[in-house]
Amino acid sequence: MRSTRFSGPFNRRSWLAALAGSMALPSLAGATTRPEITLRFSHVVAEETPKGLAANRFKVLVEQRSGHRIGVQVYPNAQLYGDHDEMQALQLGAVDLVAPSLSKFGRIGLPEFELFDLPFLFDDLNAVRRITLGPLGKKLLQGLSRQGLVGLGFFDNGFKQMSANRPLLELKDFAGLRMRVQASRVIAAQMRALGARPVTLPFSETRRALAAGVVDGTENPVSNFWTQAMHEVQTDLSLTEHGYLGYAVVTNQRFWQHLQPDDRALINQALQESLAFANQIADTQNDRALQALRQAGTTRIHHLGVDQRARLRQAVQPVQQQLADRIGPRWMSDLEQALRQA
């Protein structure tokens, strides 16, 4: 097929010129210029999620503002690295940016981040942002330097729901269920307090494990549930809103320090705007996913009554006390104070 096309009145050069004539020349020029720096941004979720959309927005802003001198290569869906190796890859410099869930920092020696996993801690996203956009959030990000990392900022996905092949409305409904969880001691304790058995698995293996019956259920905001097609292997989604899922964007200290100051400023500005964008769209993305789920009609969606939610909340209340030492008494008292401030 190829040879016919190029052998006619058009030779390759004139064909490319003709093509250039029909497309926006700047992009051709930009696209063919090899960027001086290419940032590798790896994450584990789909593109149609708050994180996926924020990463793509970041790419567009950096490339546009640097005139394509700086490129961004985004690797979604754990294509490059997954939950089990993305942090190590970052520390080794094999990737430049990751945006793990806040639940995944405990296992690399930063248990204070598991404060975000405390069940029923935040009434709404405003309460979350009193932490993430306030002095406590800043202190948490500074702590990443202990692991040779630089924390660049936080952003939301939203509140988690529970899924299984039965409604999860009362404590008895959780009895004996194997529930997939992120590698967080707080979330594991939450599941045990509900009478379920926590099973830690990488995100990218969750749907397969549900389909194979290795686990019976899981927890996640609807945008993750929908974009991973978990609705095809779970008959019931219970809108518990029992916990928060958010992220921190992290880079490697050496990489960040070696950037030219102007480039670092450009990248950081583009990132801060992309995080603000993610926070703006997070709710909408989850609402859209819930709507799509309703339309798909494969999964029964259950709303909890006020009393039902209060009973679940009471059952997991002891988790805060149990894990306070792990998170750190100082962090716990700062958290309480920050949440009290209206």
Q: Which residues bind ligand LMR (CB under 6 A)?
A: 44-45, 101, 157, 182, 203, 220, 224, 245
Q: How far is the CB of 45 from ligand LMR (least distance, A)?
A: 5
CA separation (Å) from 241 to 85, 199, 245? Answer: 29, 20, 10
Q: Which is nearer to ligand LMR, 240 or 308 (CB)?
A: 240
Whose CB is nearest to ligand LMR?
A: 101
C-alpha 249/C-alpha 74 separation (Å) is: 13
Q: Which is nearer to ligand LMR, 98 or 323 (CB)?
A: 98
How many alpha carbons lie under 13 Å from residue 206 in its C-beta half-sphere? 33
Report CA 205 to chain centroid distance, whole Å: 15
Q: How far is the CB of 308 from ligand LMR (least distance, A)?
A: 24
Q: Which is nearer to ligand LMR, 155 or 174 (CB)?
A: 155
Alpha helices in 204-243 (DSSP H): 206-212, 222-227
Q: How far is the CB of 263 from ligand LMR (least distance, A)?
A: 27
C-alpha 172/C-alpha 167 separation (Å) is: 11
Q: How far is the CB of 289 from ligand LMR (least distance, A)?
A: 12
Q: Which is nearer to ligand LMR, 110 or 266 (CB)?
A: 110
Q: How far is the CB of 180 from ligand LMR (least distance, A)?
A: 8
**Segments of the chain assigned E as strands:** 37-42, 70-75, 97-98, 149-164, 178-181, 197-200, 217-220, 236-252, 300-303
Q: Which is nearer to ligand LMR, 187 or 335 (CB)?
A: 187
